[in-house]
Amino acid sequence: MIVSMTLELKDIPGQLVLALSPISEFHGNIMSVIHQHEEKTPRGTIPVQITFEIDQRVLNELIERLEKSGVRVARVGEERLRSSVSVVLIGHIVHSDIGDTIEKIDSTGFAEVVDLSLAMPAINRTSSSYLVINAVGEKELKKALEILREVSKKKDLLMIEPIRLNSGAP
Amino acid sequence: MKTIRLSIIGFGAVGQGVARSILSKNEYFNENGIDLIVVGISDSKGSEVDALGIDLENALNRKKQKGTVANGKESALEIIEHVEHDIVIEATPTNIDDGEPGLSNMLAAFNSGKHVVTSNKGPLALCFSELREAAEDNGVLFRYEATVGGAVPIFNLIHEALAGNRVIRIEGILNGTTNYILTRMTEEMLNYELVLKEAQELGIAEADPTYDVEGIDSACKLVIIANSIFKEDATYRDVDVTGITKITPEALELANKNNYVIKLICEAGNGSLIVAPRLVPKKHPLAVGGTLNVASILTDLAGRITIIGKGAGSIETASSILSDILYIARNS
């Protein structure tokens, strides 16, 4: 599972290593560390946000270890839907059952429609919508887009996808 | 002084632009040791031939007053095959049904040992490899910078300046008309039909806008890129094309609120050729407005290189043609 934690460190040297080493000892894969030295909490501690991948079974043990070493665990959350994409749909969105369109994505279990804006200028004119889809990872996001492409084709909707943003290096 | 003799086949906006730029750049050519002489010009109604060099000023005036340059009857093919010269400037209109008359003109030029410089997309979108082979078999050069992106030097950039790089992907806006329509729809919240009319009145869109708005023009350019840069034996029929006619001002507004613009994007890479409206983040280098064209080239060594410029216009297109003429003058 992917976990995001906010830790509070004392403002003395060596605290970041103290916080990070137990994560690697439990075979966690650290994905990002945001260390804001200038933004102290009212308690005078320094907040650090860490995102990492770890076996769910060792999570509680890890938290205990961190607390014992003097690192305060202020927040623990699961980062389930990490990848996100925006899409525009144009056509008879409502009449072609938008509930069903969303359900096709939500029912996958790995992707969800998390935002939807709809513009319906007049009854006899086509509608436009802006959707945000989140998924557990990039691979799943691609699958969700494939599903939406199929649905759009069947319902005669124009689907506008974003350009590829990653460098796409070989 | 090296004398280069040319024929201009097709004397519309592009052909006249070439004649005008040759006139205005005479001094530049002389400084570079090149003497450019136009020995034949042909348009749809006839032609003018002069082995000693046509008076271009005169030819342009005649075209303006009478609607044709014609003072003789030689056909385009007769000029290409029988008048002695070095480079054929093929600037007849694009036809993507059978590529004619450009295709026959280009093949005749190669087979009679002449280099070809062209702005005509049709023959290249349909028969690129046939044309390339004909040029190679006859030991002559084939240059087509003006076919894609107007003044934007995409092929020169990749083949010369970026030589040694492998191109991973190319994305771009290669049609100024659709870019203008989408930009105006976004800015003014006007619907497609209204903005199309405005573009037609300004001469940005043609009376029959199908080639532009259905993405056909963009697809032809993408095919030329696929052949020239990715060495794919692709034709127009291999492109997955979606046009812009269904795009609503509301869709553009929704995209805008979320920091995107919608652009008709051409994408080549990984063997796929796609022309479709896409969401482009407002701060992305591809998010250029108005009638501008843009090409973003992803390479293995240089990373991403993006060039922006005017994609159409008589003199702008002539700029690409002149650079191809000079390339041949220096390398033949």
CATH of domain B163-310: 3.30.360.10
**ipTM score for this prediction:** 0.87
CA distances from residue B167 to A49, B3, B90, B218, B304 in whole angstroms, order as listed: 38, 36, 28, 19, 10
A 110-129: CB under 8 A from B:
117, 119, 121, 125-129
Residues A10-47: tens digit of each pLDDT:
888 888 898 999 999 999 999 888 887 778 888 889 99
A167 Cβ contact list (under 8 Å, min separation 6): B298, B303, B304
Residues A140-166: tens digit of each pLDDT:
999 999 999 999 999 999 999 999 865
What pLDDT sits at residue A166? 56
Q: Could you tell me which of B276, B309, B266 has the C-alpha nearest to residue B171? A: B266
Q: For the CA atoms of A46, A51, A54, A59, what is the dihedral angle to 10 degrees?
A: 40
Beta carbon pairs, A and B, within 8 Å:
83
Based on the residue annotation, tell me whether B25 is a catalytic residue of this protein.
no
The answer, for B265 touching chain A at a CB cutoff of 8 Å, is yes
Residues A54-104: tens digit of each pLDDT:
988 999 999 999 999 889 998 888 777 778 999 999 999 988 899 999 999
CA distances from residue B250 to A89, A121, B181, B183, B257 in whole angstroms, order as listed: 11, 8, 14, 13, 10
B251 band by pLDDT with thresholds 50, 70 and 90: very high
Residues of A in contact with B242 (CB under 8 A): 158
Tokens 């032809």 belong to B220
**Domain span(s) for CATH 3.40.50.720 in chain B:** 2-151+314-331
Domain ranges of chain A: 2-78, 83-160
Give the angle B121-B174-B311 at the CA atoms, nearest 5°.
85
Helix (H) or strand (E) holding B49: strand B46-49
Contact B168 A168 (CB under 8 A): yes
Q: Cα(B183)–Cα(B199) distance, rounded to whole angstroms?
A: 11
Contact A119 B253 (CB under 8 A): yes
Interface test with A, best of B241, B246, B263, B296 (most A CBs within 10 A): B246
Contact A170 B168 (CB under 8 A): yes
- Residue A11 burial (10 A CB sphere; 0-12, 13-18, 19+): exposed
Best CATH choice for the domain A83-160 from the list 3.30.1360.120, 3.30.70.260, 3.30.1330.60, 2.40.420.20: 3.30.70.260
A168 band by pLDDT with thresholds 50, 70 and 90: very low
Q: Is the peptide bond before A121 cis (omega within 30 degrees of 0)?
A: no
Structure token digits, residue A58: 């060792």
The answer, for B212 touching chain A at a CB cutoff of 8 Å, is no
Q: Are B150 and B313 in contact (CB under 8 A)?
A: yes
CATH of domain B2-151+314-331: 3.40.50.720
Question: Which residue is catalytic, options B63, B114, B121, B221?
Answer: B221
- Using CB atoms, which residue from A158, A160, A163 is nearest to B171? A163
Tokens 């989140």 belong to A134
Mean pLDDT, rounded, for B167-176: 97
What pLDDT sits at residue A170? 33
The answer, for B23 touching chain A at a CB cutoff of 8 Å, is no
What pLDDT sits at residue B332? 87
Q: For the CA atoms of B183, B185, B189, B195, what is the dihedral angle to 10 degrees?
A: 140
Q: Specify whether domain A2-78 bears CATH 3.30.70.260.
A: yes
